[in-house]
Structure 1
Amino acid sequence: MWMNNFSVKHAEKIPNSAKFHLPCCLTKYSVWELMCTDAQKETIEPPSYSHSMKIWRSQLNHIKIPKRTRFSKCDTCIQLKERIAATNEKSVREQLQWQRSIHLEQQNKERQKYYKHISKAKNNPNNYLSIIMDAMDQDKTAIPRLCETPKSLGNIWRLKVNLMGAIVHGIGVYGFFDAFQWAHGASYTLSVLVHILSMLDFLPDVLYLQLDNCPGQNKNRYVLGFVAKLVEANIFKKVKVSFLMVGHTHEDIDQLFSRFSVRASREDIFILDDLITTFEKCYKQLPVTGMKIAEVYDFQEWLQLNNIKNHSHPHVFKFTKNEDGKATMKYKKWSTDKKWITSTGSDKYLLQDMDDSPINKIKPNVDNLDFERLRHDTDQVARFYNKEKIASWWDSFLSELEEEDDDDLPPLTLIQNLREKKCEAIVQEEPVEHLTPADEPIPQVVIGKKTHIIDEEIKEGDLVLTDTPLSPEDWPQVARVVEILPENRLKLQPYWGKKTTTWTPAYRKNKGPIYITVNKNVIWHHGFNLTQSGYLPKNIKELVGKYEEDNL
């Protein structure tokens, strides 16, 4: 039972298989140690290591710790595993194991937050829209693709095909294919997003967008700037852009790609139309639409943005519109952090102005394609399989690619088109007007609520309310100031308790009081006392409730 619960919490489900893969920072012995620790907390006698391994081999062989993985590995996981294996000091080992447990718990919480967004979009599609986007490994989509390659065709030149996939949760799956006629940067990602939004029948007020951490395609000022523009143009009232922890990003979109890859490996795929058809048959949970992407827009030229720094560190950004009609950006290091942070700097907004001018399309570039070699080799494939239509399709497709390079592309009134779709949707779906308060953007009072604590106000001995990632599961977080340290740091003694229970200083058995060191910016209230019975005063409980409402 413990092992199954542990795998559900920390393992990644492998598509087309019943196997679960645990993070690479773990070993079987370390998993057994974690089980023993949990058993001791419950005063249960844990099984021996040998007996645990026997049960694992006989009853839990679907749970694996892979030596190699096709997905990128987490740097933190690898470093922790190596350092734990290298040390012989008990205290150092315990500290590293504690760091590992915090790391695994955090990645699980990030994943659960993503699942929560999916659930909200599925259960309340009139208010929420959840989209995840990612690109597939191009080595698995090159065509022609043959199940069994004859020796005479072993060295044919195959056309590299890119697949950008997207799952719109509760609505459908989309696949956009191209032959690398465009650079796959921010403009490409945003063009795919625009195509998806244009195909939807309805645009609700809240968008949850889940992306990979790649800075060139996703985590950059152009993607964030366009999201701000969607909010400022009233396409959405609120947008959250989220990024899973690096090395722990294997999600439903990767399961889609895996199913597609497995199905494609069992079929002869001679032309791009075959590849798209195979993609449309690989997934049964939702309707699947595959298409050749026809237009990519020049967002990098179109968007007028201020510079932005350090945006690679947060894992979630939130955009809402303030009372001045401007899109504001807030961020968190982790989606489970309780407090949104307002960006600082000389420029207040990422978006310089709300320009509704048409956006130019990027001309496709096929200079990297060897048309002569492709025609020769695909003709060779057609003759071998005695299929004239293969040669005919390739000749027509390559001619289209050559002609595309010379096309004169008119600009697109992108924002106007999305506004019209939004207005049509509001007319068709009256319930969208009846939003509950919890669904509306965070009030402007949150912005005004952000204050800077003056150094002299905090004194040694003060009780404080904190919002620190050191113990995110403990809420509210109460502590007493033990010492004021240099560089805006404080030494605190945490208190144990809940909103409705008594509070006592935190002590470890036989080791004395627990202390933590934090920055002053995690203190959001201070200078109060517990009641005579050790409870939080009524006004502090109300303050905690208001803080939760505004920041969670």
Structure 2
Amino acid sequence: MDNSAKDNKNVHVLAFCSELVIRGVFETVEVNFLMVGHTHEDVDALFSKVIAQTINKDVLTLLALMAEIWDSEMMHPVPLLLEEVAYYKSYVDNFLGPLVDHSQPLGFRFSIANNVSIYRCLFTVDGPWCPKEGHTLWKKEDGQFKFPMGEPKALKLPSIHPRLNEVSPFIDNLTSHLKGTFQDPTSVGFRRYNPIISYWKKVKKQLECIQPLQDENLRGGFWPRTNHGTRFTLAQQHQETSPDGSVDDIIVIDELQQELRAENNLMMQP
């Protein structure tokens, strides 16, 4: 991630990494920040592929753009429409202590030691994780560390209405431009662009009807399941007992099928 205290290198991002370990989603979590001069490498590489994919093409709808993004890489990136955001900051603020030793290091490792969630820092590429005893992000109350329970609430996103006047002119300009490319209803231009015009008119109408999300609960849940390690554990046991140290693909495939069958229960319940 970018080495930015405002967006990434802050107590809330690091607390999320710590909670992933506390909740048993992962045994350890490592997060690294880019050195100065090495920003946005992966992001820039992804968008350069998207640009190459869409060059000299008319990508006139959001669905068409999502399809082009999908086709831009062999390992298909999946574009999604963001409909809700968790208010994680308010969820953890009352449980966090001071963040120490975070300005200089570029690497952080979160783990459990002696039943305490700790993090260690990496100051150089080949250096040790330190301090050995680790730091903790969480406050103590009556001698015990306290953690937030349940799930974060949904962040109330601002309504689209205040900015609708900024979006509508662009939609009107596009539909007017497309209408000007044809005159004859039997022409190729009509058959090609009239569905696009109808699409954007529907989008504009839908924007006018959108209301702010009233429900404070996240519809999709927040915390992932914690049985992710089953497949790894079985494969590791098989590897230890196998004469050649290989992992039987059947074990992996069977466990993956179990994961897929349970996809309608993907989130932990509070």
TM-score by length of 2: 0.69
Of 108, 124, 137, which residue of structure 2 is paired with 1:334? 124
Task: Output the CA distance in 2 between the equivalents of 1:396 and 1:343.
Answer: 59
Whether the 8 Å contact between 1:378 and 1:390 is mirrored in structure 2 is no
Q: Work out whether 1:393 is the aligned partner of 2:199.
A: yes
SS at match of 1:219: coil
Of 315, 321, 332, which residue of structure 1 is paired with 2:112? 321
The corresponding residue for 1:244 is 34
CA shift at 1:221, angstroms? 1.1
Whether the 8 Å contact between 2:157 and 2:213 is mirrored in structure 1 is no
Against the structure 1 CA distance between its residues 235 and 389, is the aligned structure 2 distance closer, same or farther, given a 3 Å change threshold?
same
CA shift at 1:329, angstroms? 1.1
Against the structure 1 CA distance between its residues 408 and 435, is the aligned structure 2 distance closer, same or farther, given a 3 Å change threshold?
farther
Per-residue CA deviation, residues 287-318 of structure 1 (Å, 9 max, x unaligned), is 33222122211111112322325523210001
The corresponding residue for 1:377 is 173
The corresponding residue for 1:308 is 99
Q: Work out whether 1:411 is the aligned partner of 2:203.
A: no
Task: Output the CA distance in 2 between the equivalents of 1:395 and 1:342.
Answer: 61
Task: Output the CA distance in 2 between the equivalents of 1:228 and 1:309.
Answer: 14
CA shift at 1:256, angstroms? 2.0
Task: Output the CA distance in 1 between the equivalents of 2:25 and 2:113.
Answer: 15
The corresponding residue for 2:253 is none
CA shift at 1:349, angstroms? 2.2
Give matches, 1:355-366, under 5 Å.
355-365=148-158, 366=160
Per-residue CA deviation, residues 146-180 of structure 1 (Å, 9 max, x unaligned), is xxxxxxxxxxxxxxxxxxxxxxxxxxxxxxxxxxx
SS at match of 1:328: strand
Against the structure 1 CA distance between its residues 339 and 230, is the aligned structure 2 distance closer, same or farther, given a 3 Å change threshold?
closer
- Give unpaired runs (5+ residues) of structure 1: 1-210, 437-552
Please, what is the CA RMSD of the aligned residues? 2.9
The corresponding residue for 2:268 is none
Whether the 8 Å contact between 1:232 and 1:354 is mirrored in structure 2 is no
Task: Output the CA distance in 1 between the equivalents of 2:206 and 2:50.
Answer: 26
Which amino acid is 1:291 matched to? L
Task: Output the CA distance in 2 between the equivalents of 1:340 and 1:394.
Answer: 55
Whether the 8 Å contact between 1:426 and 1:432 is mirrored in structure 2 is no
Whether the 8 Å contact between 1:332 and 1:341 is mirrored in structure 2 is no
Against the structure 1 CA distance between its residues 294 and 343, is the aligned structure 2 distance closer, same or farther, given a 3 Å change threshold?
farther
Which amino acid is 1:392 matched to? S
Q: Bigger relative contact order, structure 1 or 2, given CA contacts below 8 A and separation 6+?
A: 2
CA shift at 1:235, angstroms? 0.6
Per-residue CA deviation, residues 461-518 of structure 1 (Å, 9 max, x unaligned), is xxxxxxxxxxxxxxxxxxxxxxxxxxxxxxxxxxxxxxxxxxxxxxxxxxxxxxxxxx
- Give unpaired runs (5+ residues) of structure 2: 140-145, 182-189, 240-270
SS at match of 2:170: helix
Whether the 8 Å contact between 1:228 and 1:351 is mirrored in structure 2 is no
Task: Output the CA distance in 2 between the equivalents of 1:397 and 1:224.
Answer: 38
CA shift at 1:430, angstroms? 4.7
Q: Work out whether 1:289 is the aligned partner of 2:104.
A: no
Fraction of identical pairs, as percent? 22
Which amino acid is 2:91 matched to? W
In our comparison, the structure showing a higher alpha carbon Rg is: 1
Per-residue CA deviation, residues 78-97 of structure 1 (Å, 9 max, x unaligned), is xxxxxxxxxxxxxxxxxxxx
Task: Output the CA distance in 1 between the equivalents of 2:198 and 2:204.
Answer: 10
Task: Output the CA distance in 2 between the equivalents of 1:290 and 1:268.
Answer: 19
The corresponding residue for 1:260 is 50
Which amino acid is 2:138 matched to? L
Task: Output the CA distance in 1 between the equivalents of 2:131 and 2:208.
Answer: 49
Per-residue CA deviation, residues 182-202 of structure 1 (Å, 9 max, x unaligned), is xxxxxxxxxxxxxxxxxxxxx
Whether the 8 Å contact between 2:105 and 2:121 is mirrored in structure 1 is yes
Aligned length in residues = 217
Of 134, 137, 146, which residue of structure 2 is paired with 1:350? 137
Whether the 8 Å contact between 1:245 and 1:315 is mirrored in structure 2 is yes
